[in-house]
Structure 1
Amino acid sequence: MLIFVLQTLAEILAGGTSLTSTKQIDFGHPIDRREEATEPILNVYVYDLRESKQLQHSGRQFERNKTGSMQTANVSWPPTWIDVSLLLTAWDKTTLGEHHLLAEALTILLRHRSLREEFLVPELRGHGNLSMTVAIEPAIEISSLWSALTIPLRAALFLTVTVPFEAQTVPKSLVWDRIVSIRNKCLPGSDVMTITKRVAIAGIVKNAVTNLPLTDTTISVVGTEITALSSEEGLFFIEDLHFGNYVVRIDCPNYLPQTVNFLVESQTYVIKEVLLTPV
């Protein structure tokens, strides 16, 4: 979002001032550049981000999709509107040159008043014109701003652009069918066991000393009421979880409990081996 706002402002400023290209617009910290400047420079610095109190929408859209064995429920929210506060300063070999460049920037920005959609980069289009205010004082206390920047007070413009921030549509739940085939290596000659599960988390619990599987071990997803028990082969499965990171607690009588992190982020999963130490 920020880079698109800066890109739009750079194109407008470079096209309406005596600057010859956007390469003369700097977005770094506005330190003193007068001695190092070989050509006029405009500095556009983002110093504050906050949710706009003037422009917000509410509501959400819910869409459920099913593709083969995978089911997803997509929840998409309207954009959150963010006030982006920017400090605009000019640097040149002389103070007169800086004032001239700053006056040009003020003229072109006041001419626009708002960022019209046709001037926006493609990533910011689709929401109409974007609100923009140009002021000689910032949204926060001016002396605090310059003190925080650790540079002397100088002539500057203060811009606030209200832009939409859209979070990507996130699948809120995910289930998938997977065929799990495993042979108990501890029992020679045992048959291959095939299980079909809608697996999000899978693991096998073993004795850390004997390496034998532990049955009836309680597996709990921390922060939820979801639990499972390990099978005779020490296997456990947790199904139908949302994407995200989960902490799973493993409890077995006469063994020290253990917590394990599981990341659910795709249709693939890894069977984790958990070794519990006898008390």
Structure 2
Amino acid sequence: MLIFVLQTLAEILAGGTSLTSTEQVDFSHPGNIREEGRGAILNLYVYDIRESKQLQHSGRQVERRPTQRGLQPVTVNWSPSWFDVSLLLTAWDRTTLGEHLLLTEALTVLLRHRSLREEFLVQELRDYGNLSMTVSLEPPIEVGSLWSALSLPLRPALYLTVPVPFETRPDSVPLVWERIISMQNQWQGNGDSTVVTKRVAIAGIVKNSVTNLPIAATEITVIGTEKSALSNQEGLFFFEDLHLGNYILRLNCPDYLPQNVNVLVDSPNYTFKEILLTPA
């Protein structure tokens, strides 16, 4: 179950922050990050697991189903055992300013959730309802002791606690939400603007990572679906009628390196993503 919690959080963070892929969310010991010499990443580290104080194991649940002959078949189920999983979230980048910006983005997207809604959870964690999530600036244990045990100096961090059920449950059907977006085209050379209103879930703009200019005719595909689109002359694109959840966009454009980008659809508002492509 720990893997499923980490997977859910990684998808939310990658889709809702400036990170473009879940591969930029690291789960190793934070003391190993600097040695790897990578770019901007979020480190999500599980540092404590203990029996939940909020939700306890309640024993057997008996369900009786009467039949026409008066017999009463009985089904006995065990309710799940709940454990509080405590995680340390830190941002790592080449500059302190970059780390602070990334950590601020992570805090913003996590506070938008407050809890892990069932429709965002991987299948193995569904059918329990929403999972409560505590986001704080202090860990459940003494902060100095935690960082001392990690053999690291104290640094800005977020401390997450998620009560997790340990039991396999049936699959559930994700919800489908409808999005409305108004995209204003401000890239026309004559200064005019065009407003396009569509029922969409994801919208974005594709730019050159060197010149920061929009890129037209980029093919964007939503992996796992039949949806695809081309960016217009201003680099804008959008997708309509998507399920609530996390998606991976595949971008291909001649003379540019292909790229995969995580995008999170998590609220009644549309999700707008700015994507930078690197010239080949």
Task: Give me the whole-angstrom Cα distance separating, in 2, the residues matched to 1:138 and 1:78.
Answer: 28
Q: Which residue of 2 aligns with 1:56?
A: 56
Range 33-42 or range 92-101, more displaced: 33-42
Q: Which residue of 2 aligns with 1:39?
A: 39
Identical positions, percent: 77
Q: How does 1:8-23 map to 2 (within 5 A)?
A: 8-23=8-23
Question: Deviations along 1:130-155, whole A, 9 cap, x unmatched?
Answer: 01000000000000000000011111
Gaps of 5+ in 2: 64-74, 170-280
Structure with more contact order per residue of length (Cα contacts < 8 Å, sep ≥ 6): 2
Q: How does 1:1-279 map to 2 (within 5 A)?
A: 1-31=1-31, 33-34=33-34, 36-61=36-61, 76-166=77-167
Q: Which residue of 1 aligns with 2:194?
A: none
Larger strand proportion of the pair: 1
User: Is the 2:124–2:168 contact (alpha carbons within 8 Å) kept by the matching residues of 1?
Assistant: no
* One-letter amino acid matched to 1:29: H
Of structures 1 and 2, the larger Rg is shown by: 1
- Displacement of 1:57: 4.5
Task: Give me the whole-angstrom Cα distance separating, in 2, the residues matched to 1:37 and 1:113.
Answer: 32
* One-letter amino acid matched to 1:26: D
- Alignment coverage as a number of residue pairs: 159
- Displacement of 1:37: 3.1
Runs of 4+ aligned residues of structure 1 deviating over 4 Å after TM superposition are: none
Task: Give me the whole-angstrom Cα distance separating, in 1, the residues matched to 2:5 and 2:31.
Answer: 22
Task: Give me the whole-angstrom Cα distance separating, in 1, the residues matched to 2:23 and 2:164.
Answer: 24
Range 27-36 or range 142-151, more displaced: 27-36
Normalised to the residue count of structure 1, the TM-score between the two structures is 0.54
What value does the CA root-mean-square deviation take over the aligned residues? 2.1
Gaps of 5+ in 1: 64-73, 169-279
User: Is the 1:29–1:45 contact (alpha carbons within 8 Å) kept by the matching residues of 2?
Assistant: yes
- Displacement of 1:36: 3.7
